Amino acid sequence: MAYYTSTTKADLEAYNTLVTTGEGYNGTTPNWATIVEHPNGLDFAILKHPNYDATLTIEESLGAEWYPSEEI
């Protein structure tokens, strides 16, 4: 699953709106994806929709560093 990343959260929110509007989500589904915040507080990511492109940095996947789960 590819992700767009950015240090500007608003860019990813705009992408979310682009997909949501384009796909016509409605009813109980008003969003395309949840924006993931890196633990460093500086980087953000959103899942790329296969039918919508943007001029953002693309990553093939998010590394484990994005999800600092307790290893328990």
Partner 1 sequence: MLGLGLSLFTGGSLRPYYAVVAAAFKDRVEADGGTVESMSCLKADLKVLNPIKPPAYTGLLNDYSGAAAAYSLRLLDNTYSGSAVRVRRASDNAEQDIAFSNNELDTATLETFASGTDAFVTTWYDQSGSGNNATQTTASSQPKIVSSGSTILENGKAAVEFDGSNDSIVTSSNFIANTDLSLFVLRKFNSTTAKPQDVVSQGATQSFEGFKYGMSGGGQDQLAIYYSSLYVPTDGNTTTLQELHSLITTSSTTTLNINAASKGLSVSSGGQIGNNSDPLTIGKRDGTGGYYNGNIQELVIYTADKSTDESGIETNINDYYSIY
Is 8 or 52 the residue whose CB approaches partner 1 more closely?
A: 52
Cβ 4 to partner 1 shortest distance, Å: 12
Q: Residue 4 burial by CB count (10 A; 0-12/13-18/19+): exposed, middle or buried?
A: buried
Distance of closest approach, residue 32 Cβ to partner 1, in angstroms: 5
CB of 55 to partner 1, least distance (A): 20
Q: Which residues bind partner 1 (CB under 8 A)?
A: 1, 20, 23-34, 36, 47, 49, 66-72
Nearer to partner 1, 32 or 56 (CB): 32
Beta bridge partners of 37: 44
CA distances for 48 relative to 29, 33, 36, 56, 69, angstroms: 17, 9, 12, 10, 23
